Homo-oligomer: A and B are copies of this chain.
């Protein structure tokens, strides 16, 4: 009696409470159908036996696993951006509020990986998918839509028709805000360090930059190349060494921005004072002392919550939010020393 040993079933709870299986089930799934007095008795028995419904049995009958599939990609070697940590945590937490859990799996990129999705579906191991790391021409949204599988993506489909629901960061709006911020600080020659065209995310960000420049009457100046920090350093270098060097650099990512900061250091220029630098992603390294990079911070946690909300809506677990099928969330600009004259150091915000 003292050790329930994890062996309680509906049946055992029922007999302990002197009712039938179904009544116990109703106490859990439709309490309003049970007379208050009976309910109380059953709940006592449940507590006494530490009963929890067996998930497999429930899944078998209801044809719902209460699991959301999430594919973990191998972390790119030099990736500074620990999105998985934050996004997955937010998703997991939101899902838990409705009795759902996250099931991780791996799959090769591209359409070769669709098999894994198909397998999980055939096994009825998951009720739907959370997609992340969506890329240009990602085959998953289209395929899942065809199959009628519920899913929500973090990141829009960058090519072809928009299949399915997604939540994404408004990179363009973020970059616009960055340009406005720099403009307000007095900068007039603001250049953009970006990726080659066709990357979706990169195009979105540069579009916001361009739009802001045009609206403020500035000349857009864009340099692009494949790569990370090394590339950013090189691109920034050519800009700084060229004619009419920019006084501010807006970078498509924090990685490029670190390269740009390095290019400044190479030339003895002080970030924030001689040349301002802004990045995108607000990676943890941005707030290291001596880096203090101004950057656009993505509302990852909120995205996770909204993705889950949408997905559970599709599954009929919660009411589907009435809004549109897509949500664009604005990043927020974390202003640090790299875009601000040093001044009397406003109460060291570098570390908590």
Interface residues of A (CB under 8 A from B): 6, 8, 50-57, 59-60, 65, 67, 70, 72-75, 77-82, 84-86, 88-89, 92-93, 96, 101-106, 119, 121-125, 227-230, 233, 255, 258-259, 261-262, 265, 284-285, 287-290, 350-352
Which interface residue of A122, A233, A262, A352 has the most chain B CB atoms within 10 A?
Answer: A122
Q: Which listed residue, B54, B121, B261, touches A123 by the CB 8 Å rule?
A: B54
Given A78-B352, A124-B55, A351-B230, A101–B105 Cβ distance below 8 Å? Answer: yes
Q: CA of A107 to CA of B72 in the docked complex: distance in angstroms?
A: 21
Contact B103 A102 (CB under 8 A): yes
Contact partner of A78 among B65, B102, B351, CB < 8 A?
Answer: B351
Cβ of A230: which chain B residues have Cβ within 8 Å of it?
A: 289, 350-351
User: Nearest B residue to A124 by beta-carbon distance?
Assistant: B54
Q: Inside 8 A of A290's CB, which chain B residues have their CB?
A: 233, 258, 261-262, 265
CB neighbours of A8 from chain B (8 A): 122
Query: Once the chains bind, are B6 and A122 in contact (CB under 8 Å)?
Result: yes
* Contact (Cβ within 8 A) B60 A73: no
Q: What copy number does this chain have within its complex? A: 2
The residue in A75, A96, A227 that gathers the most chain B C-beta atoms within 10 A of its C-beta is A75
Q: How far is the CB of A51 from chain B (nearest CB, A)?
A: 8
Assess A50 versus B122: contact at CB under 8 Å? Given A60-B57, A82-B84, A289-B230: yes
Q: List 19 A-B contacts (CB under 8 A).
A: A6-B124, A8-B122, A51-B122, A52-B123, A54-B124, A56-B60, A67-B103, A75-B89, A77-B352, A79-B85, A82-B85, A89-B106, A92-B106, A96-B105, A229-B288, A230-B350, A230-B351, A261-B290, A262-B288
Residues of B within 8 A of A89 (CB): 72-75, 106
Contacts of A103 in B (CB 8 A): 67, 101-104
A287 touches B82 (CB 8 A): no
Q: Are A104 and B85 in contact (CB under 8 A)?
A: no
Roughly how many angstroms separate A261 CA and B84 CA in the complex, as a whole number?
Answer: 28
CB-based contact B92/A72 at 8 Å: yes
Task: A56-B56, A56-B57 are known; give 17 further A-B pairs, CB within 8 A.
Answer: A51-B122, A54-B124, A59-B59, A72-B88, A73-B89, A75-B82, A75-B85, A77-B352, A78-B284, A78-B351, A78-B352, A80-B284, A101-B103, A104-B104, A233-B290, A258-B288, A265-B290
Please give, as numbers and ranges, the residues of chain B lying within 8 Å of A88 by CB-CB distance: 72, 84, 104
Q: Output the least CB separation between A9 and chain B (Å).
A: 11
- State the Cβ distance, A255 to closest chain B Cβ, in Å: 8
Which listed residue, B77, B101, B259, touches A125 by the CB 8 Å rule? B101
Q: Which residues of B contact A52 (CB under 8 A)?
A: 119, 122-123
A97 to chain B, nearest CB (A): 10
* Bound form: Cα–Cα A233–B290 in Å: 10
User: Shortest distance in angstroms between A164's beta carbon and chain B's nearest beta carbon?
Assistant: 18
Q: Please, how many angstroms separate the alpha-carbon atoms of A106 and B93 in the complex?
A: 6
How far is the CB of A105 from the nearest CB of chain B, in Å?
6
Q: Please tell me if the beta carbons of A96 and B106 are within 8 angstroms of each other in the complex.
A: yes
Beta-carbon contact of B78 and A287 below 8 Å = yes
The answer to whether A104 touches B106, judged by C-beta atoms less than 8 angstroms apart, is: no
How far apart sit A227 and B350, CA to CA, in the bound complex (Å)?
12
Q: Find out whether the CB atom of A123 lies under 8 angstroms from the CB atom of B53.
A: yes
